[in-house]
Amino acid sequence: MAAMLLLTSCAELLDTNNPIDLGQKRENVSFRPRVNPSTRATDIEFEQGDKISVFASEGNVIQEDNYAENVEYVYEGGLFTTAGTLTYPEEQRLSFYAVYPYAVYTAPSFNFYVNTDQSTHEKYTASDLMTASNVGYDNEVVDLDFYHRLSKVVINLNSENMPAGTQSITFKNVYYGAKANLSSNSYNTISTERADVVASPNGTNSFKVILPPQTIVAGDVFVEITIGNRTFQWEVDRNLIFNSGVEYTYTLYFNTQKNSVQFLSYINSWNTPSEIEAVIPFEYVELMKEYIPIHEGTTPPNIEGIYLSSPATLLYDSHDYFSVGYKFADNYYLFYNQSSDNTLSMYSTQNLGDLSAAEGVFISGNGQNFTVYFNEYTAHENGDWLTKATIISGTKNGDRIDNFHTAFIIIDKYDQTNQYMDVGAYRVIYDGDYTSEPTEWPLGSSSSAPAKSVNKASMFCDK
């Protein structure tokens, strides 16, 4: 019997004229989504003929050798169905991982390339990499949430001074490949291949494109606009940082004398009701938010400065490596380059020699409350390394930060000496006196980014 993926819109689930019997074919695995309006690249729903891949693992995370590999499902009549079967082992749970669009993925780690010509609807939606995961037991119906894993860029053309003629937009010399890893839930740009990418029409005087997360460097020509026989170029005057799962919208204004454009911009969360998914997958935040305040909103305070978190006190450890109340070494944080699109850069050091850096940090919040989100790579001098997703939360109070919390989850690691926390383990640390005072940077100039560029692993991550 065909296994069924019950991926429908909310309206379809509530359609009493054509109810879906979730009890049918319960010997096969069934899935039910919680679909957000913007879950698909169309911003509406899955379309007839869409295909997804489904992996299933008997462990907590997906492996190279899994219970089910790359099962193809096709969307027809409101359901994803397959000609194969996917059933639970007897009295056993399964971890499920789904990928859109379908391809012959030979392993849960794979390269994904957006179409360099996204001028048609089909080629555009086929570039929208999404994944979903959850755990199911016995014959229960499993909920799946799909999340966008790449970046979406929308270009709106202001009609003032715009010449007449047929319009097209090309994104120049951008990275178009991403290295996806379902087990670590990471989607990193393949930095060896660039190409021009043609955008898709998005209504009157508007275009859109899907790109892997990346940074466009100040001075680069990012967009070329052709209107009739005129060509205009947008040379960016500052770094543009595109994060996973975020939509960036720019309105371009024409300078017909110089064949150039100026722009205004704003940033939207693409697939969640908050900015969290901009940097860190929502499911990671769900694990940690019970222990750390999450401040949503698009008007955070400016937190630029240098702060000392002391005593750095353990609030929660998912694997009980240390007892609650354990005191870590003091930690210094330097935040700088906070911009109007709610991004900033940061350094942190714990042992006056160990240094971690992060750029493209996203900050949300409202009033004096803020939360920042970033992925961090740290390495040890012996060759060990790890990546972690980190959240920092607090309240700006004059020149200090109150209620300073740090939470992180280990995403991936190379740990030949077995010194770090396990992948999937997470930890929450807070400033024990609830006040993080302004201070001097211990490794270099206190007025700018540190001059020293050591990059060792934080002791926060040790077992």
**Mean pLDDT estimate for the chain:** 77
pLDDT digits 0-9 by tens, 257-304: 765 555 443 334 454 434 455 567 666 777 787 788 888 777 899 999
Percent of the chain with pLDDT over 70: 76
* Predicted local confidence at residue 95, as pLDDT: 85
C-beta of residue 118 within 8 angstroms of C-beta of residue 197: yes
Is the pLDDT reported for residue 449 higher than 70? no
* Predicted local confidence at residue 131, as pLDDT: 86
* Predicted local confidence at residue 222, as pLDDT: 95
Average pLDDT over residues 21-36: 42
Which range is most confident: 9-18, 311-320, 377-386, 436-445? Answer: 311-320
Question: Half-sphere exposure of residue 150, counting CA atoms within 13 Å on the CB side?
Answer: 31
Is the pLDDT reported for residue 451 higher than 60? no
Is the pLDDT reported for residue 447 higher than 70? no
Between these two residues, 398 and 33, which has the higher pLDDT value? Answer: 398
427: its two tokens: 């930890």
pLDDT digits 0-9 by tens, 33-76: 443 434 444 454 677 788 888 888 887 777 777 888 888 877 77
Question: Whole-model pTM?
Answer: 0.54
Is the pLDDT reported for residue 406 higher than 90? yes
pLDDT band at 178 (very low <50, low <70, confident <90, very high): very high
Average pLDDT over residues 210-232: 92
Is the pLDDT reported for residue 7 higher than 60? no
CATH number listed for the domain at residues 4-109+118-147: 2.60.40.2620
CATH number listed for the domain at residues 151-269: 2.60.40.2630
d(CA 280, CA 362): 10
**Strand order from edge to edge, sheet including 109-113:** 109-113, 177-181, 186-189
pLDDT digits 0-9 by tens, 92-125: 788 888 899 998 887 888 999 999 999 999 999 9
pLDDT band at 360 (very low <50, low <70, confident <90, very high): low
Average pLDDT over residues 404-411: 90
* Predicted local confidence at residue 166, as pLDDT: 93
pLDDT digits 0-9 by tens, 130-176: 888 878 777 666 766 777 889 899 998 988 888 889 999 999 999 99
Give Cα separations from 17 to 14, 133, 185 (angstroms): 9, 30, 39
Is the pLDDT reported for residue 235 higher than 80? yes
The least confident of 39-43, 83-87, 241-245, 405-409 is 39-43
The least confident of 211-225, 268-282, 351-365 is 268-282
Average pLDDT over residues 202-221: 92
* Predicted local confidence at residue 199, as pLDDT: 97
Which range is most confident: 21-30, 159-168, 189-198? Answer: 189-198
